[in-house]
Structure 1
Amino acid sequence: MIDALTALVAPLGVLKDAELLTGGQFATTYRVTLADGRRVIVKTAPTGTDQLLAYEHDLLRAEALVYEMAASVPELKMPQVLLTDFTRTLLPSDALVVSHLPGVPLVDAGFGPADPRTAAAERGTGEVLAALHRLTGPAFGYPCGRQASSWAESFTGMVDELLDDAARWSVPVPAADVRAVMSRHATVLADVVRPALVHTDLWAGNLFVDPSTGELLGVIDPERAFWGDPLADLVGIDPMGREPGTPAVLEGYGPLDVESPSARTRMELYRMRLCLVMMIEITPRKFEGDWVEPHRTAVTANLHRALDALA
């Protein structure tokens, strides 16, 4: 692997050291130090597709596309794309090389709920989301996947793909209930008329902060982004929660409808979708450990809470 990484980063410099980073469940990521002292991040996609959900194909290409769009919007605080290799010749899968961000992941910063640094990070998150959602796509859907002219059609297709994934891996999900609430609430999806860029996965592990102040310094991993409803990002921050973000996130964001019946219903639909993702991926990913069954139980309960709210 070192030889492949050396060849990959050669246009940037001579590889001195490569450190495998942990914490992600999709890609393989390395922190590479070059001979001149610069550090870069190398991210590689899974080599096999048999463990991927339908929407997870070509995610690294989507991530590169989002970073390239973000390059002209410094408020998004995303890394700079330095190299891409989608030929799958140096490595058996897609590879992306980006700049190394300052700060530490918010999940590792050790801030408590009442710490003012937590509020600072959350306000910064709201500001980033507002800037991200001002970007408009050509259609609704995944940047490198299926797209549609309406959000209702696109989101319905996303959910249908997940139900197909569940059937493929024999994961028991309440498919009939999911389809029933999708049919019942199709009209509220029509309230979304502009395909905004949605990160979908802004949990604390994808936010880099200044450990002394809580200032948000960087945002990573937009690989699962889609063009759709900005409210989906409030669910993505905390899919197991029941509220649309924290007061600090909403303060940083600015004016945003999170209280109307349409907004509340749409967020329950997005929570339902994310719970389906988290339930289904356990099987093909072959998750192991004492955490798996409590996680499955919690996600299942949250899915049913969403379905009950939508019924």
Structure 2
Amino acid sequence: MRGRGVRRAVALGRYPRRVIDALTSLVAPIGRLADAELLTGGQFATTYRVTLADGERVVVKTAPVGTDGLLTYEHDLLRAEALVYGLAAQRPALLMPQVLHTDFSRTLLPSDALVVSHLPGVPWVDAGFGPASSDPRTVRAERETGAVLAALHAIDGPAYGYPCGRQESSWASSFGAMIDELLDDAARWSVPVPADEVRAALETHRHVLDDVARPSLVHTDLWAGNVFVDPVTGEVVGIIDPERAFWGDPLADLVGIDPMGREPGTPAVLEGYGPLDVDSPSARARLELYRMRLCLVMMIEITPRKFDGDWVEPHRAAVTANLHAALASLHGRDDVGAPAGR
């Protein structure tokens, strides 16, 4: 989730023959493999940029082979991604890749695989102009990201919850189940989280979740690494990685685009989106609940994924502080940023 850095291309070179053979078979319905690069920087799937013999480039994405390190909601994520791309196929405003081939048989590979079209542009995090700046390219990218979110949220789902997972008839029930799963995951891996405070916050504010009247399609992970832009103009030209999408409250995407922030998007994002309530007591409480959920995900995943590097502890500290800021707001306290366990 939220790759810790930028996708980098690494030539396959002397990769095992089985990798080349698998990629060759996966793209065979589309064309003949000529070259491939491993794209690093993500923390979930393994992704390759494949060049075909006719010069066309495609992207091949494979799910993790082992499932022991997956959070409960992370099973079958590539199937969810393919489903969202399918919904986007007739909606060009969503700027998502086209699904070219899927292999969910788990016979060619021991995991799911997805082949999609290659997008133009570069990830926003690579473009040389960051979010939340006064650069005109930033303003354009933020405004157009807001417009993409509005188009995405216009798609209604059959129920609340994960497209390929548990679904409920109400958003309150669905969101409550999501939190229960995360707290179970935390207990399974002995990750210290303030479970009692989380449950109390959810119980206190559960009623505001009933203000969500329909299950909208929510990307949940539209940070700058999943937005492709033209580095010269700032135009948004592509949206990727909707594998963590759910049917629920559109406000959750304003947390997903800035996981460590405290405000619901920027003025440019909200301008591009159009009319959206982010200031009512109900909206503010729901935004904090979604920050709470996302922080739990980001805290818990560190342990089963065995993240390492100098970035891990500062990242854990920032996520912990953001979680406690959300809980403090939900409990009406002023001890924002309290340490874990308080």
Both structures adopt the same fold (TM-score exceeding 0.5): yes
1:205-259 C-alpha deviation (Å, 9 max, x unpaired):
0000011100000000000000000000000001110100000000000000000
Q: Which residue pairs with 2:10 in the alignment?
A: none
Q: Please, which runs of 5 or more residues in structure 1 have no aligned partner? A: none
Q: Which residue of 1 aligns with 2:45?
A: 27
Amino acid at match of 2:60: V
Letter in 2 for 1:292: V
TM-fit CA distance, 1:267: 0.2
| 1:141-168, Cα deviation, whole Å (9 max, x unpaired) | 0000000000000000000000000000
How do 1:160-199 residues align onto structure 2 when only pairs under 5 Å count? 160-199=180-219
2:97 aligned residue? 79
For 2:48 and 2:278, the matched residues in 1 are separated by 38
Superposition deviation, residue 22 in structure 1: 1.1
What amino acid sits opposite 2:126 in the alignment?
Answer: D
Per the alignment, in what secondary structure is the counterpart of residue 84 of structure 2? helix
Q: Aligned partners of 1:102, 1:291: CA distance in 2, in Å?
A: 30
1:261 equivalent in alignment to 2:281: yes
Query: Number of residue pairs matched?
Result: 311
Q: What is the Cα deviation at residue 114 of structure 1?
A: 1.6
Q: Which TM-score applies when normalising by structure 2?
A: 0.90
- Residue 160 of structure 1 aligns to which amino acid in structure 2? D
5+ residue gaps, structure 2, are: 1-18, 332-342
Partner Cα distance (1:209, 1:13) in 2: 27
Runs of 4+ in 1 over 4 A off after TM superposition: none
Q: Over aligned residue pairs, what C-alpha RMSD do you find?
A: 0.5
Cα distance per residue 1:35-78 (max 9 Å; x no partner):
00000000000000000000000000000000000001100000
Paired residue type of 2:300: I
* TM-fit CA distance, 1:92: 1.3
Equivalent residue number for residue 13 of structure 1: 31
- Give a deviation string over 1:179-211, Cα, whole Å, max 9, x none: 001000010000001000000000000000011
2:242 is aligned with 1:201:
no
- Asked if 1:97 is matched to 2:140, the reply is no
Alignment-mate amino acid for residue 90 of structure 1: L
Which deviations, in whole Å up to 9, do the C-alpha atoms of 1:274-305 show, x marking residues without a partner?
Answer: 00000000000000001101111110011000
The residue number in structure 1 matching 2:167 is 147
Q: Is 1:227 paired with 2:251? A: no
Shift of 1:91: 1.2
Note if 1:44 corresponds to 2:24: no
- 5 Å matches for 1:231-310? 231-310=251-330
1: distance between equivalents of 2:25 and 2:151? 36
User: How far apart, CA to CA, are the structure 2 residues paired with 1:285 and 1:95?
Assistant: 20
Deviating more after overlay: 227-236 vs 109-118: 109-118
Percent of residue pairs identical: 81
